[in-house]
Chains A and B, each alone.
Chain A
Amino acid sequence: MLHAIQEEFGYIPREAEPVIAEALNLSRAEVHGVITFYHDFRREPAGRHVLKICRAEACQSMGSEANAHRLLERLGLDWGGTTADGRITIEAVYCLGLCATAPSALLDGEPVGRLDAASLESLAMEAA
């Protein structure tokens, strides 16, 4: 259900919590607790594109962290941040199961592997 709401709105609006609680016969606090427990659920609207960059060990062994930091610097963002024009959100993810074609990322749900600093950057910059 929460997945469906996020799919629809791109995040789970605070105003939706009491509605969900009533529909499921739970307290508001319980619903809030569930939403905040899971990394997938966003409290704020995301950008038009979402780039999830893997930060787990196998990708690190192939230089993912340096690539990601370069990109974040270029965009002036921190992890989880969205560009001022609302174009793209950069999020961390811990392993996509693409660890033998590392470093990996997901752009709007589409997997990308064997990234280097340049290809990661063009992936992020070219998403219009």
Chain B
Amino acid sequence: MKIFVPRDMAAVAVGADRVAAAIEAEARARNIPVSIVRNGSRGLFWLEPLVEVTTASGRIGYGPLSEADVPSLFEQRFFDGAPHPKCLGHVDKIPFLARQARFTFGRAGVIDPLSLDDYRHHGGFKGLESALSLGGVGIIAAVKESGLRGRGGAGFPTGIKWETVARTPASQKYIVCNADEGDSGTFADRLIMEADPFMLIEGMTIAGIGVGATKGYIYLRSEYPFAIRMMQQAIGIARHAGYLGASIDGSGAAFDIEVRVGAGAYVCGEETSLLDSLEGKRGQVRAKPPLPAIRGLFGRPTVINNTITLASVSFIMAEGAKAYAEIGYGRSRGTMPVQLAGNVKFGGLFECAFGVTLGELVNDIGGGTHSGRPVRAVQAGGPLGAYFPPALFDTPYDYEAFAKKDGLIGHGGLVVFDDTVDMAKMARFAMKFCAIESCGKCTPCRIGAVRGTETFDKIIAGIEPERNLALVRDLCETMKFGSLCALGGFTPYPVLSALDHFPEDFATPPLRHAAE
């Protein structure tokens, strides 16, 4: 009988390997034949380690487990799906999962990530087949029709980017997958690579056929050792089966992929810096134009897309552009894997159509804080995204609606804070992070962030707060308009949102006491 125990890095971080070993030992001791499948995570992280068994009526889950639960699980015959205090019933019916629109993450946690048979049984390579029959022009038309926008942060229409690369004549073109996922509060790229790596391979291959590129690179951050191993293995398996190489799936079209590991620099997620880093240089941001689509990797036309963007293409080509474009909100079409993180009760990946409100995501779906205290702030869109107070929780999850509130969807992260958060410290951290990670090319970012950090130190110490707050606002203006990339240019968003929505945290110490 099959027992699924995730091999996902977060599941392992909370004991999945120990649970798997305990199940194996217990089964041996009881002489019960089991086969343990190390699946990816479903993305319901508060339930990890989440173990599943197959029954006639579907998969039954148990979690969150520790090795201490294992003897009683066997005692109760969990392998038959029997009741147990940790039994969660049918996994598909857990409300957090049942409420989702799992377009891109439908296979995550369901399949053995390295089984091509599993992948094919669950709709894998259907997108590639249709892409091969449509050809480049048809692929780009479909991606355009789907309305897909880049999920790395900027939300640029993917079809238009691909068209530019396709129309630029060159003897060699490249597909680069941005798997640098540096934003705090995000793990969707990681989940794709660990739970369903063939989907990314398929998406990149479709992109290659779409624009006429034969070589792809995955720029994968060094902080993701599990994803690195998984992608390398999956690429080897795909190559061996003829899904990568000189003639993909016997079509005559060539495409191959290589993994390149980053070295711990946030700014290397920025596309031009990433390209320099791929070329073995310091990851410094390049001035645009020229766009990477015209002069990218090694000076050649290059599609650079986020991992989710490329993975979504597999779904779009398999199920049709219409199915994707049908749901959504305004100009934000399709689904977004929202990542609920930080001090949140139900932390995990929630893929849904755009348009749900921030409050629904945090309170209804996320269940409020993990600590049980009131939610005070939510940082949306990573370290360069704004802090939202509960007063703005009616904002619909949509690129344009968030921008109107000086906020960011970014890569889909939401980090929840309870009422013990000190927003002056968070504003200082935003500046400090920019100072640590600045590539050093422009003065407002390099120097401004250091000065900003020092100025917050003074504010926090109660030294001339009014004057120093005015100074911070000036610095933010300079950084916004004088920075080449969004590291310097967007750091003002978390800083100013903290100042504007939580002014009480920046008042002079006596006033702060009075407010408490």
A61 touches B421 (CB 8 A): yes
A30 to chain B, nearest CB (A): 8
B263 touches A41 (CB 8 A): yes
Q: Mark A90-128, 1 if CB is under 8 A from B, else 0.
A: 000111111111101010011111100000000000000
Task: Give CA–CA (A95, B266) in the complex, Å.
Answer: 10
Residues of A within 8 A of B413 (CB): 58, 99
Contact count A vs B, C-beta below 8 Å:
135
A56 touches B282 (CB 8 A): no
Q: Mark B245-264, 1 if CB is under 8 A from A, else 0.
A: 00000000000000001111
B265 touches A95 (CB 8 A): no
- Residue A57, interface by CB 8 Å: yes
Task: Give CA–CA (A99, B379) in the complex, Å.
Answer: 13
Closest to A94 in B: B266
Residues of A within 8 A of B282 (CB): 33-34, 37
Given contacts A57-B379, A61-B417, whether A101 and B281 have CB atoms under 8 Å apart is: no
- Residue A19, interface by CB 8 Å: no
- Residue B10, interface by CB 8 Å: yes
B187 touches A99 (CB 8 A): yes
Chain A interface size range? 35 or more
- Residue B12, interface by CB 8 Å: yes
- Residue B202, interface by CB 8 Å: no
Task: Give CA–CA (A59, B185) in the complex, Å.
Answer: 9
B429 touches A38 (CB 8 A): no
A57 touches B187 (CB 8 A): no
A102 touches B342 (CB 8 A): yes
Q: Mark B278-294, 1 if CB is under 8 A from A, else 0.
A: 00111110000000000
A99 touches B263 (CB 8 A): no
- Residue B398, interface by CB 8 Å: no
Residues of A within 8 A of B223 (CB): 93, 95-97, 106
Which of A3, A58, A106, A114 touches B415 (beta carbons < 8 Å)?
A58
A97 touches B433 (CB 8 A): no
Task: Give CA–CA (A79, B197) in the complex, Å.
Answer: 35
A29 to chain B, nearest CB (A): 11
Q: Mark A28-50, 1 if CB is under 8 A from B, else 0.
A: 00100110011111000000000
B264 touches A38 (CB 8 A): yes
Task: Give CA–CA (A109, B10) in the complex, Å.
Answer: 13
Closest to A104 in B: B13
B265 touches A99 (CB 8 A): no
Closest to B369 in A: A61
Cβ < 8 Å to A, chain B residues 268-286: 280-284
- The interface on chain B, measured as residues whose beta carbon lies within 8 A of the other chain's beta carbons, has a size of 56
B265 touches A100 (CB 8 A): no
Which of A30, A58, A101 touches B13 (beta carbons < 8 Å)?
A101
- Residue A84, interface by CB 8 Å: no
Closest to B385 in A: A57
B187 touches A100 (CB 8 A): yes
B280 touches A34 (CB 8 A): yes
B505 to chain A, nearest CB (A): 15
Task: Give CA–CA (A43, B128) in the complex, Å.
Answer: 46
- Residue B351, interface by CB 8 Å: no
A57 touches B426 (CB 8 A): yes
Closest to B439 in A: A37
Can you name 22 A-B pairs with beta carbons within 8 Å?
A: A2-B263, A3-B222, A37-B265, A37-B282, A37-B283, A38-B263, A38-B283, A56-B383, A56-B433, A57-B383, A62-B343, A93-B264, A94-B437, A97-B186, A99-B185, A99-B347, A99-B413, A100-B10, A100-B46, A104-B13, A111-B226, A112-B13
Binding site for B on A (CB under 8 A): 2-3, 24, 30, 33-34, 37-41, 56-62, 93-102, 104, 106, 109-114
In the complex, the 7 A-B pairs of residues with the closest C-beta atoms, listed nearest first: A100-B347, A113-B13, A56-B184, A38-B263, A99-B341, A61-B342, A100-B45
Binding site for A on B (CB under 8 A): 9-10, 12-14, 45-46, 48, 181-187, 189-190, 222-226, 261-266, 280-284, 339-344, 347-348, 370, 379, 383, 413, 415-418, 421, 426, 429, 433, 436-437, 439
With contacts A2-B263, A95-B185, A102-B342 known, what are 14 further pairs, Cβ within 8 A?
Answer: A3-B222, A3-B261, A37-B439, A58-B342, A61-B421, A62-B343, A93-B264, A94-B433, A96-B9, A97-B189, A99-B186, A99-B415, A100-B46, A100-B347
